[in-house]
Chain A
């Protein structure tokens, strides 16, 4: 009994790690742009495809494919950031919704046009099982966990101690004041966006060996799962997002295991709605800004 529970728990933590890496990108983008990036899941998908191509066509090893995948996505994100996202600084909320939805549609369908709509099998990654405290899980899942911790530690350091990090915090607090003191808001926005998209891509590549199948539409579900996480964690709140992502991952895993798999995908929004009724400003925000 306990074994099953522990297994679900560990799976949940791994899932939560994936969600966390994706969600932190989206929440940082919200922090500087005040806009929900509805195309965020698509960068997860593009990252996975970006790694799948070198493995499938060139038989390159997984680490190289990972770098290629993340790098390609970052380049695409830089382009989109300059063309689309930087203009959203002064746009209305509805304009942001429409624009990012448009980007999402374009990314999804261009990928399908290029690669076809079928499921691609992702061969690669470290799927050998490893034993940890008496439980077996694949090496890849362990890798995901470790990367998640590294990412969050890195972000923490970046935001607190680097110039870029401080600029990001400044933009998320007061755009006008930034302009007055000479912070290049456009550049910070694009950089944050590229970072967020790259993180999503990283998550996509790391999870691809576990999911096995890669397809053009897989980003949509990811965006859906991430939205409740960033609201629950507090929009723009990096640490809160980590906790919220872990909670959701574990909740999904437990409900999927004990109640039924068909309810897994609804857990996120159900929890979100319940939380919004009870604590409208997120679990961790100190003020009800959004």
Chain B
């Protein structure tokens, strides 16, 4: 084309709001057309979104690879279960306590751990998971060892005039949706704040961040603790959903899954991680029928992910979203 011509391109409407509305409507009305099994898969995906977003803050935004999510997930699960079983505390108390305990334990662990270099730090965090599981198995007086704690009550919200029990899968779906939604909102706010920008600065070039006056050590520690809190909250919801906790709450599987969600969905993006959770956990739960085949496919996906989607699915999502934005009807490019 020569310089004087105006390119004529067909207009495309901005479809983002309609698509978003449809998605929201689908999510909101899912129980109407999905069976209990599918809903269960989605609930687990929503629960996993909590430790995943926590890990996202750590890996994606601050650049710290940690494998400790399972440790704090397990700690949150047990804390919540103990509160419910021994003190009869209602769900929202257990929930908050779980997060607080996980965060409180993360603090003294993080202080020495964060002094380590990258590879040693990864090992150390893995160690936390192993230690956590060993404690859960052996502190029998508190955790009942391998038998675990059972009969954890389903959440009950009792505020005088307004009280309801979350017992059915459908009700739990909405509870999980609400909690996951709030968690994602919290992460969104953190990331958009000046603190979030500082975190990215640390990820990109820690020395440079230090030199412009960002307290990198404090940031890393705080993000480590926040990440643990998210994992603990997720553990709490999981405990009340399954109504049992056992040392398997510390299984390395939880760490691997949250890592896959974050790296596969897109570290450093919020929508990517949300998508990742639904994709990997939802699919994984839905394919429970043939566990070995499922895990083999999962494994192959991981390998493919590492090489062909190093940034996860996030770039694809961003491209799809901007495609939906459409094009205005006039004007040169």
Distance of B308 from chain A, by nearest CB (Å): 10
Given A266-B131, A269-B127, check contact A98 B120 (CB 8 Å).
no
Asked if A99 contacts B130 (CB within 8 A), the reply is: no
A103–B123 CB distance below 8 A: no
Q: Which A residues, 189 to 221, have Cβ-Cβ distances below 8 Å to chain B?
A: 220
Determine if B65 and A94 form an interchain contact, defined as CB atoms under 8 angstroms apart. yes
Whether A108 and B118, one on each chain, are in contact in the complex, defined by CB atoms closer than 8 angstroms, is no
Quick check: is A112 within 8 A (CB to CB) of the other chain?
yes
Task: Classify the secondary structure of B's interface with A.
Answer: helix
Given known contacts A36-B119, A265-B134, A280-B115, is B307 in contact with A87 (CB within 8 Å)? yes
**Residue B302 is within 8 A (CB to CB) of chain A in the complex:** yes
Q: A245 near B: Cβ within 8 Å?
A: no
Q: Is the CB of B259 within 8 A of A98?
A: yes
Contact with A along B291-310 (1 / 0, CB 8 A): 01101101111111111001
**Are the CB atoms of B307 and A95 closer together than 8 Å?**
yes
B298 near A105 (CB under 8 angstroms)? Answer: yes
Is there a chain B Cβ closer than 8 Å to A84's Cβ? yes
Determine whether the beta carbon of B260 is less than 8 Å from that of A273. Answer: no
Known: A94-B59, A98-B305. A272 touches B299 (CB 8 A): no
Residues of B22-68 at the interface with A, using a CB-CB cut-off of 8 Å, are 59, 65
Query: How many angstroms from the CA of A33 to the CA of B123 in the assembled complex?
Result: 17
Answer whether residue B263 sits at the interface, using C-beta atoms and an 8 A cutoff. yes
Instruction: Please give me the residue from chain B that is nearest to A224 by CB atom.
Output: B130
Which residue of B126, B300, B310 contacts A227 across the interface (Cβ within 8 Å)?
B126
Please, what's the 1-or-0 string for A105-128, where 1 marks a CB less than 8 Å from any CB in chain B? Answer: 111111011000100000000000
Q: Which A residues lie within 8 Å of B326 (CB)?
A: none
Check A270 against B116 for contact (C-beta < 8 Å).
no
Partner of B296, one of A109, A224, A270: A109
Is the CB of B86 closer than 8 A to any CB of chain A? no
* CB-based A-B contact count at 8 angstroms: 126
CB of A228 closer than 8 Å to a CB of B: yes
Return the CB mask of A75-94 against B: 1 if under 8 Å, else 0.
Answer: 00000000010010001111
Interface residues of B in 272-315 (CB under 8 A from A): 292-293, 295-296, 298-307, 310
Docked CA distance A105–B252 (Å): 12
Q: Give 1 or 0 for each of A265-290: 1 = CB within 8 Å of chain B CB.
A: 11011101100110010000000111
Contact B124–A273 (Cβ < 8 Å): yes
A109 B130 Cβ-Cβ under 8 A: no
Given A265-B130, A277-B112: A99 in contact with B302 (beta carbons within 8 A): yes
Chain B's nearest CB lies how many Å from the CB of A174? 18
Contact call B120/A95, Cβ cutoff below 8 A = no
**How far, in whole Å, are A98 and B302 apart by their CA atoms in the complex?**
6
Across the interface, which residues of B come within 8 angstroms of A87, CB to CB? 307
Chain B, residue nearest A83 (CB): B303
The contact of A104 among B120, B131, B299, B304, by CB within 8 Å, is B299
Q: Which residue of A lies closest to B124 (CB)?
A: A276
Rounded to whole angstroms, the CA-CA distance of A96 and B300 in the bound complex is: 14
Q: Determine the distance from Cα of A104 to Cα of B142 in the docked complex, in whole angstroms.
A: 34
Q: Indicate which residue in B122, B127, B306 contacts A98 across the interface (CB closer than 8 Å).
A: B306
The answer to whether the Cβ of A101 comes within 8 Å of any Cβ in the partner chain is: yes
Which single member of B138, B256, B299 contacts A109 (CB below 8 Å)? B299
Is B319 at the interface (CB under 8 A from chain A)? no
Does B144 make an interface contact (CB < 8 A)? no
Q: How far is the CA of A269 from the CA of B133 in the complex (A)?
A: 12
Could you tell me if B127 and A102 are in contact, using CB atoms closer than 8 angstroms?
no
For residue B128, which residue of chain A has the nearest CB?
A273
The answer to the question of B192 belonging to the interface, with a C-beta cut-off of 8 Å to chain A, is no
CB of B10 within 8 Å of the partner chain:
no
Q: Do A84 and B303 touch across chains, with their CB atoms under 8 A apart? A: yes
List chain A residues, Cβ under 8 A from B65. 93-94, 97
| A117, closest chain B residue (CB) | B292
B134: chain A residues at CB < 8 Å are 262-263, 265-266
Q: Which residue of A lies closest to B301 (CB)?
A: A102
Query: Within 8 Å CB of A262, what residues of B?
Result: 134, 137-138
Residues of B contacting A289 in the complex (Cβ-Cβ under 8 angstroms) = 117
Q: Are B120 and A290 in contact (CB under 8 A)?
A: yes
Nearest CB on A from B306, distance (A): 4
Pairwise interchain contact B119-A108, C-beta atoms closer than 8 A: no
Cα of A97 to Cα of B310 in the assembled complex, Å:
12
Q: Is the CB of B119 within 8 A of A109?
A: no
What is the minimal beta-carbon distance from A281 to any residue of chain B, in angstroms? 8
**What are 19 residue pairs bridging A and B, where the CB atoms are less than 8 Å apart in the complex?**
A84-B303, A93-B119, A93-B122, A95-B306, A98-B259, A98-B264, A102-B301, A102-B302, A102-B305, A102-B306, A105-B299, A106-B303, A109-B292, A113-B292, A113-B296, A227-B126, A265-B134, A269-B130, A270-B131
B residues near A (Cβ < 8 Å) are: 59, 65, 112-113, 115-120, 122-124, 126-128, 130-131, 134, 137-138, 252, 256, 259-260, 263-264, 267, 292-293, 295-296, 298-307, 310
Interface residues of A (CB under 8 A from B): 36, 84, 87, 91-99, 101-110, 112-113, 117, 220, 224, 227-228, 231, 235, 260, 262-263, 265-266, 268-270, 272-273, 276-277, 280, 288-290
Q: What 10 additional pairs, Cβ within 8 angstroms, besides A265-B130, A280-B115?
A: A93-B65, A102-B303, A106-B296, A113-B296, A228-B123, A228-B127, A231-B119, A276-B113, A280-B116, A290-B120
Q: Which 9 A-B pairs have the closest CB atoms?
A: A102-B302, A105-B299, A99-B306, A269-B127, A106-B299, A266-B134, A102-B303, A109-B296, A269-B130
